[in-house]
Amino acid sequence: MKCWLLMSAVILAPLASAQLVEILPDRKNAFPISLNVEREWGTDPALTQETPAASSNANPNPWTLSLITSGYIVPDAQSYVSPDFSADRGWLHLEARYNNEALETGSLWAGYNFSVGKKLVLNATPMVGGVFGNLNGIAPGYLITLTYKRVQLYSQGEYVFDTEDRFGSDFSCWNQVTYSPLNWLEVGLVSQRTRIYRTKLDVQRGVLVSFTYKKVNFTTNIFNLGWTTPTEVLSLGLTF
């Protein structure tokens, strides 16, 4: 009996070692696969992009605010300052002006912003305003900006219907074409028609130079140089 047991042990030992040799290689091949799976999961681009978005609490201001103050140095007439404050949110445009339609006169405006184009971009705002002070009336108006690369056409106009004197109704506008050789510099041509003061030219024309630093802009406009006594308009703009 002992002899049979000894012979069985001798026969089964090689078989067991052979099975062990066949199992061990499979375990070695499986180990790197589990590592590769974890490495790919840890660098999943979707997870990398979603994590900052989920933890971000930033809420940027949806309003764009602008204040432009212009000083008019008028020869042989009263010089004056004209502030213009605007607020934009999406399609909505709100604006308040003073000394724009007439001296000691304010106006409040509401308009609709829209934009079309990619390379040649048109931004336009049709609007309507109420005028009150030395001049009282209702005024439809517009803002238009046409931009192509570094060249820009800007136009602002309004027609005031005088509610007290129908013969006092009038059209005024400001137009300019500028070229920007540098990000902080603009040069161009400018024209305007205003009812606040009169010159020998019904439509005044001139040149402008504009400098921008971050959210601050300073512009010098010189009208009527070479035609009559020049009028200078200095503008300081802030965007916030």
Summarised one tens digit per residue, pLDDT across range 183-215 is 999 999 999 999 999 898 999 999 999 999 999
Residue 166 is predicted with a pLDDT of 86
Q: What is the pLDDT of residue 25?
A: 43
CA distance 88 to 223: 30
Q: Sorting pLDDT into bands at 50, 70 and 90, what band is 58?
A: low
Is-contact 154 178, C-beta < 8 A?
Answer: yes
Q: In the prediction, which pLDDT does 230 show?
A: 95
Q: 118-169, pLDDT tens digit by residue?
A: 999 999 999 999 999 999 999 999 999 999 999 999 999 999 999 999 899 9
Q: Look up residue 60 and give its two tokens.
A: 């940027």
Task: Give me the mean pLDDT over the 16-26 stretch.
Answer: 42
Which of the two residues, 36 and 106, has the higher pLDDT score?
Answer: 106
Provide mean pLDDT across the span 174-186.
98
Question: What pairs with residue 72 in β-bridges?
Answer: 80, 233
Tokens of 88: 């934009």
Long-range contacts of residues 171-178, Cβ cutoff 8 Å, at least 24 apart: 172/101, 176/208, 177/151, 177/152, 177/153, 178/151, 178/152, 178/154, 178/208, 178/210
Lowest model confidence (mean pLDDT) among 59-68, 92-101, 155-164, 229-238: 59-68
Long-range contacts of the stretch 94-100 (C-beta < 8 A, 24+): 95/127, 95/129, 97/129, 99/196
Q: For 70-105, how does the pLDDT look when each residue is reduced to its tens digit (9 = 90+)?
A: 999 999 899 999 999 999 999 999 999 999 999 999
Question: DSSP class of residue 8?
Answer: H
CA 193 – CA 207 distance, rounded (Å) = 15
* β partners of residue 108: 96, 130
Q: Which two tokens stand for residue 4?
A: 């049979």
- pTM beyond 0.85: the answer is no
For 25-40, b/e burial (b = at least 16 CB within 10 A) is eeeeeeeeeeeeeeee
Question: Which parts of 45-117 fold into alpha helices (H)?
Answer: 45-55
User: What CA–CA distance (Å, rounded) separates 175 from 156?
Assistant: 6
> Quick one: pLDDT at residue 59?
62
pLDDT of 32 above 90: no
Confidence at residue 60, expressed as pLDDT on a 0 to 100 scale: 80
Does 187 or 26 have the greater pLDDT score?
187
Phi, psi torsion values for 141, nearest 5 degrees:
-155, -175
What burial letters (b/e) apply to 84-116, b meaning 16+ CB within 10 Å?
Answer: bebebeeeebbbbbbbbbbbebbbebebebeee
* pLDDT for res 57: 54
- Is the pLDDT reported for residue 45 higher than 90? no
Mean pLDDT on 35-56 = 41
Higher local confidence (pLDDT), 17 or 23: 17
Residue 105 is predicted with a pLDDT of 98
The one-letter amino acid at 19: Q
